[in-house]
Chain A
């Protein structure tokens, strides 16, 4: 965990974070600014809720991502992540994140690393972090994952980058 934390500077001033809005299913920014619409439902795909995350964590373009709560249960899976992980959001929600992703960093001090980062992000106490993960039951495939807080309500956002 210490090693992973060292990958990013820890002196990020959380108050200066720029928040970005995106749909929890298609990842697109909302059609209307949040103030103009009372609904949290995405106007593009109609199948996701609009969430917010720090700009350096929020998914860019069609990056796949998952939203995980503080009990490490999957709460949302983007359409791209559904394709990538071969799952369906309807079947993935309420399942443990380890059913889908596991740490892939051989040098990481413990397998619980990823889970600790997620719990910290979901509780809002951690800064945006990165970790290396792989799909469960798959070897030789690795993703650099950006992990940070998102919401509302408070949760962890895990964006799978290259």
Chain B
């Protein structure tokens, strides 16, 4: 899987022959080119997007029409992938994703090419059709391969996912797989377990010691999910529980005020979950920092009295 070529703001601006301010103004108004953020929160533009815009600007009559044309050029990957999957051509489908990765990050390739292509096939043929089954299996396999190629965990963060999807052909299962991939790429240790498996769950939880639990999918009923969540909480203590692609709102599942409903997109959900864990860690650090003061002031008070 190729690494996407990225440009800093100054490099992207130079390629487009505009100032960095102009580039930021376009991002605000047109949402394009859409940068990712580096670890230091600096903008990183994908070369493919910037190059597509540069070509479109040369023949454009307005920035809007150039942006529209550049977006259209990039959407050809979706058309190619849909065509390949409709034709049951696995190698061509892999090739379409390779092309997408040449222009975008893994996250954006999945969210802008893979998942929309699957949505299109599902809408066209139905979720009980053979074309959908073929496409969903290919997508699941692609996401698993990408997960294997992800860098090893690099941050002290573990996430437990409770899989409440129907099976591999459930569209939520693909979104969950993408979410799992994105969390792994963010450096987290991720483990997905079906919510139906409760035997031995305590050992797994004790071994992983998760920082957050995510319940993904809408197929399993609330009672079963609540039972699973209870076992997890019994083994690990209080943990933030977040819901991904789950519409049920049972308080037993949500686990009180600390719960959160994550956005429906895998990348949005990943970002919000990481922010949730970071906030919680910040609170815990503040609590720990406050503790020695209480201990230190204790004996002094005694002495005074």
B206 within 8 A of A: no
Which of B30, B59, B63 is packed against the most chain A CB atoms within 10 Å? Answer: B63
Selected contact of B57 from candidates A49, A51, A89, A94, CB within 8 Å: A49
Q: Using an 8 Å CB-CB cutoff, how does the interface string of B56-69 with A read, 1 for contact, 0 for none? A: 01011111111110
Nearest Cβ in chain B — how far from A89, in angstroms? 5
Selected contact of B64 from candidates A41, A46, A51, A90, CB within 8 Å: A90
Assess the B61–A49 pair: CB atoms within 8 A: yes
Number of interface residues of B (CB under 8 A): 20
Selected contact of A93 from candidates B21, B57, B59, B65, CB within 8 Å: B65
Residue of A nearest to B61 (CB): A75
Chain B interface SS verdict (over half):
helix
Listed in ascending order, the chain B residues whose CB lies under 8 Å from chain A are 17-19, 21-22, 25-26, 29-30, 57, 59-68
Given A49-B57, A90-B30, A93-B68, the answer on whether A39 and B63 have CB atoms closer than 8 Å is no
Given A75-B65, A90-B29, the answer on whether A153 and B17 have CB atoms closer than 8 Å is no
Selected contact of B61 from candidates A47, A90, A153, CB within 8 Å: A153
A67 within 8 A of B: yes
Collect the chain A residues with CB atoms within 8 Å of residue B63's CB: 25, 41, 47-49
Nearest Cβ in chain B — how far from A162, in angstroms? 25
A120 within 8 A of B: no
Nearest Cβ in chain B — how far from A34, in angstroms? 13
Q: Using an 8 Å CB-CB cutoff, how does the interface string of A1-44 with B read, 1 for contact, 0 for none? A: 00000000000000000000000110000000000001111000
Collect the chain B residues with CB atoms within 8 Å of residue A160's CB: none
Collect the chain A residues with CB atoms within 8 Å of residue B17's CB: 38-39, 41
Assess the B65–A41 pair: CB atoms within 8 A: no
Tell me the complex Cα distance, A38–B22, Å: 15
Residue of B nearest to A24 (CB): B62
Residue of B nearest to A73 (CB): B65
A76 within 8 A of B: yes
Assess the B21–A24 pair: CB atoms within 8 A: no
A155 within 8 A of B: yes
Tell me the complex Cα distance, A48–B59, Å: 13
Q: Using an 8 Å CB-CB cutoff, how does the interface string of A64-103 with B read, 1 for contact, 0 for none? A: 0001010000011100000000000110111000000000
